[in-house]
Structure 1
C-alpha cells in the first residue's frame, strides 16, 4: 500500500522533471511518513529550495493521490509528507484482507525461473552447525522469491566428489573397520577423516596416496567406486533426517559427481576458445587481465577441480531450467571462486553470466572460534537441535504443565529458535552460536515471535469476527497507526529482501510487527463492550496475525496456536 503511494509520487516527478527521484521513508516518522529530497532538483534547475517545494506541493495537491495525504511541509531540504491516517488504515486493511482471501503469491516474478544452490554438505561427514547458515539462508531466500511469484528450483549440490574422497578412502583402507563403519557410518568416517589429517602432519606421503586414490576413483576403478557409493548413501540418510527436522526440501540432489560425464565438454569449450593454458603442473584459465588469480581447471594427473564442475553445472542448469538468475548461497571464503566462475563463463560467451549471483555469509562460531572437521572441533547439528528441543520442553512445562502435544510444541520452538537466531543477523557477519540466547522468550528471538503469535490466536479464538463493518476512525490512536503502517509495508519489505538477497530484512520486519502488537496489548484491550469497536480491532488483529504468519513461513519457522 505504501509502495503504491511512493510509486505514484515518483511517476509525478518523472513527468514533471524527466528524471527519477527516489522517495524516502524517514527513520523518524514523527517528521514524515514519506520524504522527497529536493537538493538534486534545485541544483539541476538552479532554483531555490523553497521554490521547488512550492512547485512539487502544488503538483501533489492537484494529483489523484492528494486524498491520501494529510500534510505537506518543508524542513531541512526535504518535502515532508504525512499521510491521511484514516485513508491509509482503510486501504491497508482492505488490501491485506484481499491477500488473506486469495492466499496467492505476488506477480513480480511471473514467468521467470530462479535456481538456488544451497546447503551442499560434504558426503561422509556429519551435518554440522557450520552447514546451518547455507541451508536456512538459502531456504528463506527461495521462499522470498517464491512468494514474489518466481518459479524456484532448489538444488542441493552435494559435495560428493573431490580429493577429500581420496583421503577418506585411504583412511578407511588403512585404519577402518567395516563392522564399525556399518554400525555407525558417519561418526566412524568422520573419525577417519580427522585421523588422516593428524597422521598427515608427520607422514607427508599420505597426501600423495590420497591424490592417487581419487584419480583412480575418477576412472571408475574398484573398490574405490563401491566405497564412494556406500559413503554417499549413508550420508544422505543422515542429511534427510536433518532436512526433515529443519522443514527444508529440495528439487534436486545432483552433486558434483553428477557432472563427471560433462567435464570433458567444458574442457573442450575452453580449448576451442584458446583459453586453456598449462602452467606449473595444472591447466588454467589466465585471469591476470581481470586482476584475479588463474582459474584452476584440471590437474596434470587429469583430476578435475571445483570450478570445472561448477561450469558444467552452470551449463546443465541453463539448458534444463532456462533460469533468469542462478544464486549460490555459499560462505564468504568462496567469494573469489564465484568471481572467477562468472569471468570464465563470460570468456566462454555464456550470455547469462550476469545472472550468476553469490550470496555470501559469515561463519558460525563456537566461543569465538571457527569450527573444523579436521581438528575434530565439530558440533553435530542433530545433537544441537535435540538439545534446543529438550530445553524448550523444560521451559514450556514450567509455564504450562497441562499443555497437550508438548513434544511437538517443543520441537517447533527449539528448531525455530535456531533458525531465527541465524536469520535475524546480517548474513555477511559471523554468528556466535549460543542456545541460551536463542531460547529466550524476550527480545528479538524465535520464541518471542511464536509466543506473540499464540497470544494473537488466543484473542481471536475467544470471539468470532462478525459481519459488522470495519470502522477505521476507531483506530485513530498513534499506537494503532504504527502497526497498520507496518502491515502496509509487507510487499515492499519482501521486494527489499529480494533486492538485497538478505532474509534478515524479513526477520527484523516480523519482530517489528510483533513488538508493535505487544505495545498495544500492554495498554489496550481488543475485546471491549462495544461490538463495532471489538470487531474493528479483531479485523486489525486478524490482518496482523496473517502478516506475521507469512513472515514466519518465509523464514522457515513453525506456526503455533497454543504454547
Structure 2
C-alpha cells in the first residue's frame, strides 16, 4: 500500500460530494482547498465552477450541499495507507455555506483514527508516482584538484534530497557525480606543478597544494601571458596520452576523490556512479557523427554548430574552429549515454542557474536529432549562486570558503550547546555532528533554490529559529516523552526512541517561541500508559488499539487538531517538492509540523492526563508526529537523533 494521491481528508470529502455534484472524485479532490482561516473549517469547495452544470448560483449550490452533507450518516473514509487488515473508519462531516463556498469540518472520531493509522503505517511517505520508471540524477560535480567549497553545497544537498524524494515516490533512482576531471585547467595545473610544485608538498596536502599552485598560475599569467600557452601545451600532451601528464592527472584524481569521499561521508552523501567528464572522451565523436548523419551540423565562422533559430535560441556549438570539442559536445554524449546505456526515462541535472541556456540548447538539439527525445523528461534544476561579500566565489583567485571548515564550525557550536545543556549525553560528539551538519544542510534547503545566498557563517551555523536543529530537537522531544511513557507504564517505544532519558529533550527557542526545557508541564507527574510503537496499527501497551476510540475525543482540541491536519498534508508536501523539484516545500512543511507539535505539547498535560484513554490517544499523536518528522528529515538528508 502507498499514501493516497490527495490528502486522506480530501479523498474522503470528494467521495462524499461526488454523487451530490456529478463531478468525479479525482477532480473534486483537486478543487478542494484549505480555508485561509482554520475557524472556517478543514476544507473548502469553491462552488463557482458548478454553477454552469447545475444551473444555479454558487451560493445556492453551497447551501444545498451543506444541507445534504449535514443530513447524511457517516461517510466511509478513503482507504488508509496500509489499512488492509481492518476497514478504514468512517468519517463524519459538518458543513456550512459561506457565499459561494462550501466549508467542511471533519467531526466525530473516525477521521482522527484514520489519520493516526496513516501516520502509523509502514507505507508512510511511500508513493507510486514513479513506479516502473528510472530517473538519472546528476548532482554535486566538483572539479578535481580543487577543494570542495561551500559553493558546492547547493548542488550536493539539493540533488541528494531530490534523489531521496524520487525513491520514496517509487522511482528507480540512479545518481551520478559528473566530476570535473577534464579540461584546460589540468594543463594549467600540470604546468604550475612543473614550475613551482614539489611531489612531497602535493602528497602531504594534495588539495591545498593544488589550489595554491592553481591560484599562483593565474596570478603569474597576468604578468606573463605565455604561461597560458604553456598550460594549453600540457593539456594537449594530456589529450595525446603523454605518460608524465597522464600520471600527474591520475594522481590529482586519486587524491581528490579521497578528500571528496571524506566530506561526502560527513554529509551522508553516496553516489551510484562516479563518471567524470573524461568518461565520455571516447563517446563524443560517435555523438557528433549522429549529428552529421542527421544533417544538423553547419559551419559558422570555422566552427560547427547546430542551429536553433526555430527555438529562438543561439546556435549550439559542437566543434570549435580548431576542431576541438566543447561542453555542448560532451553533454550531448552524456545525455545519449544516460538514456541508451543507463535506461533513463527522466534525466535531472542539478546545476547552477547560469547554465540555463546551455541545457535548453542541449535538450533542443536532442529533440532535433531524434523526436522520441520529446518523450524523455529532461529537467535542468537550476539554483541561485552562493556569493561571498556579494561576489561570486572564485577558485582562480582563492576567493572560496572551504566546506569542511564550515562543517567543523557548525559541529563545534552544536557541541558547545550540548555541553552546556546535557553534558552527560552519551555519544555527544556524534550527536553534535548530526545537529551541526543538519544546520548547514537544512539552512540551504529551507529557502527556494533559485534564491541567491550571500554566505554568512553566522547564519549558516545558527541553531536557533527556523533551522534543522529546531526540527531535530522537536523529534528528540517527542522521543523523550514516549520513552518516559514506556518507563512509567509498560509497552513499546517507537523505533529509534529507545535510550532516551527523561529531561534530555529541551528544545531551543524556535519560531513559535517554545522555550527549552518546557517539558515538565506537558509530561505531568502521573504514571502514564505506554507509548505506542511506530509500526502499522501500533497502539501497543497504550490500551488504544486501532479501531478503539478510547480517548480520541481529546485530540479534537485546536492544538491536537492542527497536528492531525498537518500530518494529513505530508503526502502532498512530498508531491509538491517532487512536482516543483523544490526540496524547500518539504523543509517548510517539517518546520510547520514541528511548530504544530510543540504547540500541542505545551497545550496541556500528556502523561497522566487521565486514567488511560486520553493519555494513550495523545501518545499516539506524539508517535505519529515523531514518525513523520524522522521520515521527512531523512528525505532531506538529515539525521534524527532520538536524544539531544
Q: Normalised by the shorter chain, which TM-score bucket?
A: over 0.9
Q: Is 1:415 aligned to residue 421 of structure 2?
A: no
CA distance in 2, matches of 1:512, 1:437: 20
Match of 2:232 in 1: 211
Does residue 1:89 correspond to 2:164, yes or no?
no
**Aligned twin of 2:177:** 156
- The one of 392, 405, 410 equivalent to 2:427 is 405
Between 1:24-33 and 1:144-153, the stretch displaced more is 24-33
Aligned partners of 1:294, 1:83: CA distance in 2, in Å?
58
> 1:461 corresponds to which residue?
483
Cα pair distance change 1:472/1:163, threshold 3 Å = same
2:628 match: 547
Q: Is the 8 A contact 1:371 1:378 kept in 2?
A: yes
Q: Which has the higher helix share?
A: 1
Question: Which residue, out of 7, 24, 48, partners 1:3?
Answer: 7
2:249 aligned residue: 228
User: Is it true that 1:511 corresponds to 2:591 in the alignment?
Assistant: yes
Aligned residue runs from structure 1 range 259-338, under 5 A: 259-338=280-359
- The CA deviation at 1:242 is 0.6
Match of 1:492 in 2: 572
Distance 1:194 1:320, change over 3 A: same
Distance in 2 of aligned mates of 1:515 and 1:412: 21
Q: CA RMSD in A?
A: 2.4
Match for residue 36 of structure 1?
45
SS of equivalent to 2:103: strand
Q: CA separation in 2, counterparts of 1:486 and 1:429?
A: 26
- The Cα of 1:125 is off from its aligned counterpart by 0.4
Quote the offset at 1:392 in angstroms: 1.5
> Which of these residues, 89, 100, 111, is aligned with residue 77 of structure 1?
100
- Residue 506 of structure 2 aligns with which residue? none
In structure 1, the partner of 2:22 is 16
> In the TM superposition, what is the alpha-carbon distance from 1:7 to its structure 2 partner?
4.2
Aligned equivalents of 1:271, 1:489: Cα separation in 2: 51
Q: Structure 2 unaligned runs (5+)?
A: 78-89, 487-529, 531-540, 545-549
Distance in 2 between the 1:58 and 1:201 partners?
81
Mean CA deviation greater in 60-69 or 421-430: 60-69
Q: Is the contact made by 1:425 and 1:431 (CA closer than 8 Å) also made in structure 2?
A: no
**Cα offset for 1:5?**
3.9
Confirm or deny: 8 A CA contact 1:38 1:77 kept in the other structure: yes
Query: Which residue in the other structure is 2:35 paired with?
Result: 26
Matched residue, 1:534: 615
Q: 1:182 to 1:475 in 2, by over 3 A?
A: same
Runs (5+) with no aligned partner, structure 1: none
Q: Which of 116, 127, 138 does residue 106 from structure 1 map onto?
A: 127
Which SS does the other structure have where 2:319 is aligned? strand
Query: Which digits, 9 at most, give the CA deviation of each residue in 1:386-413, with x for residues without a partner?
Result: 1111121112111122222221111111
Aligned pair 1:192/2:267, yes or no? Answer: no
Q: TM-score, normalised by structure 2?
A: 0.82
d(CA) in 2 for partners of 1:84, 1:439: 44
Point out the more displaced range, 61-70 or 180-189.
61-70
Partner of 2:385: 363
Rounded to whole Å, the distance in 1 between the matches of 2:480 and 2:407 is 28
Name the residue aligned to 1:380: 402
2:637 counterpart residue number: 556
* Displacement of 1:467: 4.5
Residue of structure 1 in register with 2:467 after alignment: 445
- What is the DSSP-based 3-state SS (H/G/I as helix, E as strand, rest coil) of the residue aligned with 1:30? helix
Moved more, 396-405 or 421-430: 396-405
Q: Which residue is 1:51 aligned to?
A: 60
Q: Does 1:389 align with 2:393?
A: no
